[in-house]
């Protein structure tokens, strides 16, 4: 959904109360650091170092038939090098330009690494996954120079309205791993999916995709995952948690002209718990954060969204359990509980069309334990904005108090005075326009800043 598109949601039947006042400058308690720290259930990342793996064995693709000429299919060379190093070692793709015409499935590796220092460009046209890592443990995918990249040339599909091409990177049943210091660019379909993985760290990543739906940045349905210091440009998911997932820590995320972050889409038997998003900067995107479903069952609980800055986004805080872009699923609705939004600042695009707080919960499963505190956002267009809640219980703004948790019709409050403290910094790398779908997207340098005033946890590989 483009920023200027209006999703009807459940606001059509709202009871509207228009008032004019400045929100009180109320001081709320800071989220407990213990709540953030405990999101991860154990250690993340490879069990042995790259140096240890390299000391055992190195398998350079150039020794297995790879040619850095931008034309010769490197797929067979990667597969052969992996076979030689899958039981312990490092597969090296040195600097240079490579073509990938046949996809690689790298299965069953243990204590190995894939060092991508070159640039791989898609030349094949099959669906599926260009690089598929599965059933592996103690794994690392990285660039030693922070210049390694995969160029998907998705525009060759998208210019024709085609989204049937491949994903760039998918990981399935991979444990104790890291992915870092690489760029994934212009995927024909999703860029990076983590499916049923555990104990992983993803960082220093740049993703740039086309300006259309179906081009997700990072999707996670896994356990004990730390994602930090990533930038995503696309027009669908930025960094999104799907079901099932637990013990997920996501921080220092730069959604730079994107669809924005989300939980979902959520359907039957949803099971998401112990998730933190912290230090998320969102520029010119569909939303800052969305929890989206339509029907369904199961639960989402113990989730925190803290330190969010936004500018130029269509929606800001958006819970929509009647999401019109999703076909309804059987069930009374996913039960949302113990969800905290804390310290949000900045501006939204047009607050009278799409207010900064929209909490529309399922009438069959009213959400409760929702807390909205230190929330100060204001409209960039016009001089008023609204907050809307339906079947939603907790503390803050239009949420209802009490413990009966009965459904109620949407209630919308309109305000015409800006809240105090809404001003927030921007980022120097904010894009002036989207990349579109009809021309090649350039490979970016990995940023060294992903949230205003916050440095990265790990310096870029190869930096002094």
Q: Give 17-39 pLDDT, tens digit per residue.
A: 333 333 333 222 333 333 335 58
3-state secondary structure of 173: strand
Please answer whether residues 256 and 229 qualify as being in contact, where contact means their C-beta atoms are separated by less than 8 angstroms: no
The answer to whether residue 123 scores a pLDDT higher than 50 is yes
d(CA 236, CA 287): 10
> Which H helix or E strand runs over 360?
strand 357-360
DSSP at 89: E
Q: Read off the pLDDT of residues 379-431 as tens digits, 9 standing for 90 and up.
A: 999 999 999 999 999 999 999 999 999 999 999 999 999 999 999 999 999 99
Residue 463's pLDDT band (cuts 50, 70, 90): confident
The topology under which CATH files domain 1-30+271-278+287-429 is: Pectate Lyase C-like (2.160.20)
Q: Which pTM does this prediction carry?
A: 0.92
Query: In angstroms, how far is CA 100 from the centroid of its own chain?
Result: 26
Catalytic hit among 158, 311, 342, 368? 311
pLDDT of residue 239: 98
> Which H helix or E strand runs over 77?
helix 75-85
Q: How many residues does the chain have?
A: 464
Q: What average pLDDT does the segment 63-86 reach? A: 98
Q: What average pLDDT does the segment 107-124 reach? A: 98
Q: Read off the pLDDT of residues 260-277 as tens digits, 9 standing for 90 and up.
A: 999 999 999 999 999 999
Opening angle at CA 209, ends 204 and 215, nearest 5? 105
Is 135 assigned a catalytic role? no
Kindly provide the residue ranges of all beta strands, DSSP E only, lying in 152-295, ordered along the sequence.
167-185, 192-208, 218-233, 237-241, 245-256, 260-266, 270-283, 289-293
CATH architecture, range 44-257: 3 Solenoid (2.160)
Catalytic hit among 138, 236, 302, 374? 236
Q: Where in the chain is the domain with CATH 2.160.20.10?
A: 1-30+271-278+287-429, 44-257
Q: Read off the pLDDT of residues 163-221 as tens digits, 9 standing for 90 and up.
A: 889 999 999 999 999 999 999 999 999 999 999 999 999 999 999 999 999 999 999 99
Per DSSP bridges, beta strands 237-241 and 192-208 are unpaired
> Which H helix or E strand runs over 50?
helix 50-56
As a whole number of Å, the end-to-end CA separation of the chain is 42
Is 158 assigned a catalytic role? no
Two structure tokens written together for 52:
């240890």
């Amino acid at each position: 959904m483009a920023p200027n598109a209006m999703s009807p949601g459940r606001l059509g039947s709202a009871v509207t109360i228009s008032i004019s006042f400045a929100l009180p400058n109320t001081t709320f308690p800071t989220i407990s650091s213990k709540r953030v720290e405990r999101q991860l259930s154990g250690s993340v990342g490879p069990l042995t170092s790259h140096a240890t793996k390299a000391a055992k064995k190195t398998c350079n693709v150039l020794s297995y038939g790879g040619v850095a000429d931008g034309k010769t299919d490197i797929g067979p060379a990667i597969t052969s090098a992996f076979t030689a190093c899958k039981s312990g070692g490092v597969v090296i793709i040195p600097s240079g330009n490579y073509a990938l015409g046949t996809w690689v499935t790298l299965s069953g590796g243990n204590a190995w690494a894939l060092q991508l220092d070159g640039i791989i460009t898609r030349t094949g046209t099959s669906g599926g996954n260009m690089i598929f890592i599965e059933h592996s443990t103690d794994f690392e995918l990285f660039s030693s120079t922070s210049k390694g990249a995969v160029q998907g040339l998705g525009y060759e599909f998208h210019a024709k309205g085609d989204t049937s091409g491949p994903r760039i990177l998918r990981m399935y049943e991979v444990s104790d791993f890291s992915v870092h210091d690489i760029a994934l660019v212009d995927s024909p379909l999703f860029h990076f999916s983590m499916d049923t993985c555990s104990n992983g760290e993803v960082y220093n990543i740049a993703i740039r995709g086309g300006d259309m739906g179906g081009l997700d940045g990072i999707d996670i349905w896994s356990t004990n995952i730390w994602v930090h210091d990533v930038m995503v440009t696309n027009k669908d998911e930025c960094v999104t948690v799907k079901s099932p997932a637990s013990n997920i820590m996501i921080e220092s995320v730069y959604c730079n002209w994107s669809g924005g972050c989300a939980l979902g889409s959520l359907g039957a038997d949803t099971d998401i718990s112990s998730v933190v998003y912290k230090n998320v900067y969102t520029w010119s995107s569909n939303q800052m954060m969305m929890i989206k479903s339509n029907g369904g069952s199961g639960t989402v609980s113990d989730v925190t969204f803290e330190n969010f800055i936004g500018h130029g986004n269509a929606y800001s805080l958006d819970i929509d359990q009647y999401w019109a872009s999703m076909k309804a699923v059987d069930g009374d609705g996913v039960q949302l509980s113990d969800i905290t939004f804390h310290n949000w600042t900045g501006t939204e695009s047009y607050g009278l069309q799409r207010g900064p707080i929209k909490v529309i919960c399922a009438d069959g499963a009213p959400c409760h334990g929702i807390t909205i505190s230190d929330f100060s956002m204001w409209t960039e267009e016009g001089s008023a904005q609204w907050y809307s809640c339906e079947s939603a219980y907790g503390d803050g703004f239009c949420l209802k108090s009490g413990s009966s948790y009965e459904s109620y019709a949407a209630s919308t409050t309109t305000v015409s005075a800006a809240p105090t403290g809404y001003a927030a910094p921007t980022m120097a790398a904010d894009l002036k326009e989207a990349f579109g779908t009809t021309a090649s997207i350039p490979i970016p340098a990995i940023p060294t800043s992903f949230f205003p005033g916050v440095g990265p946890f790990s310096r870029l590989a190869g930096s002094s």
